[in-house]
Chain A
């Protein structure tokens, strides 16, 4: 088989599995929900993995108040800008909720960190974080967003914010919005013929040589 045949075979496979999957969903009459959850049992997913995911999806870990706090924080970390939407628009809070159930060791640092944040805000501004004014929220985030210049008494907040930041960047840049934002061009059949000539030239490599 040459490359054209590969692509043809692949197209057929993709169409075939798509048709099968939607047929199954229609039978169960719950296609919308399952697509939304991204928890369809894809071919190749093991039974125990599928069941585990379904069970986690059915559980709730964070309270409404905690989710509201996560949403505000996530949007402070990744706000909407001229290129793309915000963390919450990309579904980051729901992703963090899932991860806290998927990796239970996240539960205490996240829940405890959210509480730490509220206690700090209560002491300083007399309100929980989400009830504080925007500039008050930012003032507190400024105290915990820069590990090297944060005051020692803020260290627990720094650790919490770093975890939130990592989960937010993953949640955002692995979403459909985020993948487009970051400009990833692959995950599709193509031909790799090396680095494009203009890129080689701008980095001072010779396009005629294998190793530039």
Chain B
């Protein structure tokens, strides 16, 4: 017996889906429901929110009280993984930066995401300013799929009629918390619009949505939901698709490469079992990549053969190029009006209750595109570090006796200050359009492999003036909103030396663009259906196909496009039959 043996599965699947997040989950769901025999490979373990969610746990049930030691967003957060994974490194070209978040689990990052579900608008698909390339498809072409995703998965919001912030088919939104009422008042005074949030949380039951509970307002979507009251790919797509009998999931399966034949067509994939390191090869008529924008690019680049010497999809040389995350910057403070506030259950929904859609007038701005603002604060569940701000601000406002006290302190007075300031904090964070640039990319690091022997990614990403000017504008806006609502800013206000608090690329976890779609095979990796120009039975359904994302969090668009790609595959099959 040889030491290195590859076990080959004789079954030929109609489709192999790599990855089980929003993109892979939706493709698997549509194809399995249409009767195709589908194999889904997930690099992490199986995860079912009904059993595995940390929802409704108390802080003292974690010895570190939920601190972000083994998970970046804390012990109770649903994501297995983070910006660094043991034995799965990535590198960066000197002088550039990128932080790559990976969740290794069934459902991927959809188990912990903010459920903020925004459609990209007509101008996001077909920009009118000429700054970035047009998508090969328009909003009107994607709209029917957005509509179906709304009905199938459920999203709350309100019809507002804003041109580039298209309305959907909405359930009723949760009402604002007290701090959110103050924010709304202040923001509107500052000339910034605020509308009810749009989130993938079931605030109502729907005859079209079966097997899922409605929201019971614990505010913990980030922990994933035991009654499937919010959207996770695991609970809403993969597990239901398995019930058709047509979708088989293999977990702990890290895909090594897409295998091709002499004609250059895909015939399957090879993968390694991450638990026992056994190697496998499986056959499929179609290979659908939903491994995440950068992971799918890595897989394509690592799939080299005689017919694809630079990797599959890479005859354009563009796999990995045009990598872009969202911009992000934030500011925090507290509202003196909320000191000593009355206590009540303010958990609400776990997605946003309110947000500010982009409002800017480009005639008056020195940067293209824009950003939306998400807001925080409220009487939330105590967690690690949640009162650390108090000794730094308790000298900023008069005490109960009307006199200012010295900052800091200890004892009964401080204990009372903690109670006094609890729930008085407010925060705001901008999420904006970072331009998709050819010069920002990931590529295969020529000198490094991961613990499975798979060549790893090397990133090359730099912010440019457009993003920095946008972050500066965010900080100015945040300050004017804070001012108008009478808040006291407690963050250091970041200046030019820190790029106005602009987070490193990758930190917002909205990366896309690495396998962009287009009509011309010389300037794009995929056609407008998400199908590789140079390998007709390989498709990409994550955020890789994005030509340019708007300031809208990408999940809803990934879902709509993946549904569209899956149905295109079904139509093609029908034509052949």
Contacts and interface: CB of A to CB of B under 8 A. Distances in A.
B73 interface: no
Contacts of A17: 51
Contact of A49 (B70, B211, B217, B219): B70
B169 interface: no
Interface residues of A, number: 78
B37 interface: no
A42 B227 CA distance: 18
A146 B408 contact: yes
B344 interface: yes
B560 to A, nearest CB: 25
A147 B407 contact: yes
A202 B182 CA distance: 13
Interface in A182-212: 182-196, 198-200, 202-203, 205, 210-212
A99 B67 contact: yes
A195 B196 CA distance: 15
B216 A148 contact: no
B111 to A, nearest CB: 10
B574 interface: no
B205 A98 contact: no
Given A176-B60, A192-B217, A212-B176, A148 B65 contact: no
Nearest to B68: A103
Contact of A57 (B63, B194, B220, B346): B63
Contact of B213 (A1, A175, A198): A1
A6 B213 contact: yes
A149 to B, nearest CB: 6
A106 to B, nearest CB: 11
A46 B65 contact: no
A174 B214 CA distance: 29
Contact of A173 (B53, B57, B382): B382
Contacts of A95: 63, 65
Interface in A20-72: 37-39, 42-44, 46, 48-49, 52-53, 56-57
Contacts of A81: 412, 415
Most buried by B among A5, A162, A192, A205: A192
A13 B53 CA distance: 11
Given A170-B388, A184-B343, A42 B61 contact: yes
Nearest to A198: B342
A205 B338 CA distance: 13
Most buried by B among A52, A176, A182: A182
A1 B347 contact: no
A78 B415 contact: yes
Given A6-B216, A192-B347, A1 B63 contact: no
Nearest to A77: B410
A42 B54 contact: yes
A130 interface: no
A154 interface: no
Interface string A83-100: 100000000000100110
Interface in A106-156: 141, 145-149
B65 A13 contact: no
Given A53-B63, A146-B407, A199-B344, A182 B419 contact: yes
Contacts of B412: 79, 81
For chain B, give the interface size range. Answer: 35 or more
Contacts of B385: 166, 170
A174 B63 contact: no
B414 to A, nearest CB: 7
B217 A199 contact: no
A3 B408 contact: no
A179 B227 contact: no
A51 B51 CA distance: 20
Interface in B206-229: 211-220, 226-227, 229
B27 to A, nearest CB: 26
Interface residue SS majority, chain B: loop
Nearest to B220: A187
A15 interface: no
Contact of B345 (A174, A178, A186): A186
A186 B381 contact: yes
A9 B235 CA distance: 15
Given A148-B395, A178-B382, A1 B410 contact: no
A212 B226 CA distance: 32
Contacts of A179: 58-60, 381-382
A212 B179 CA distance: 11
B114 interface: no
A14 interface: yes
B379 interface: yes
Contact of B415 (A13, A79, A185): A79
Nearest to A50: B70
B157 interface: no
A212 B70 contact: no
Nearest to B223: A44
Contacts of A192: 174-175, 217, 345-349
Given A165-B410, A191-B217, A1 B205 contact: yes
B411 interface: yes
A181 B78 CA distance: 28
Nearest to B176: A211
B126 to A, nearest CB: 33
A48 to B, nearest CB: 8
Most buried by B among A10, A44, A98, A103: A44
B383 interface: yes
Contacts of B51: 13, 17, 43-44
Most buried by B among A48, A199, A200: A199
Contacts of A37: 63
Nearest to B349: A192
Given A190-B345, A192-B174, A170 B65 contact: yes
Contacts of B349: 192
A91 B507 CA distance: 35
Contacts of A77: 410-411, 414
A210 B160 CA distance: 14
B64 A99 contact: yes
Nearest to B194: A211
Interface string B331-355: 0000001000111111111000000
B62 to A, nearest CB: 7
Most buried by B among A76, A187, A190, A200: A187
B176 A149 contact: no
B199 interface: no
B476 interface: no
A183 B61 CA distance: 18
Contact of A195 (B78, B177, B219, B343): B177
14 contacts: A9-B213, A44-B53, A146-B408, A148-B406, A165-B408, A173-B386, A179-B382, A183-B419, A185-B346, A189-B218, A192-B217, A192-B347, A196-B344, A200-B181
The 8 tightest CB contacts between A and B, nearest first, are A6-B213, A194-B175, A44-B52, A183-B343, A174-B59, A186-B347, A189-B216, A192-B217
Given A187-B220, A190-B347, 5 more contacts: A2-B214, A6-B213, A99-B64, A165-B408, A173-B387
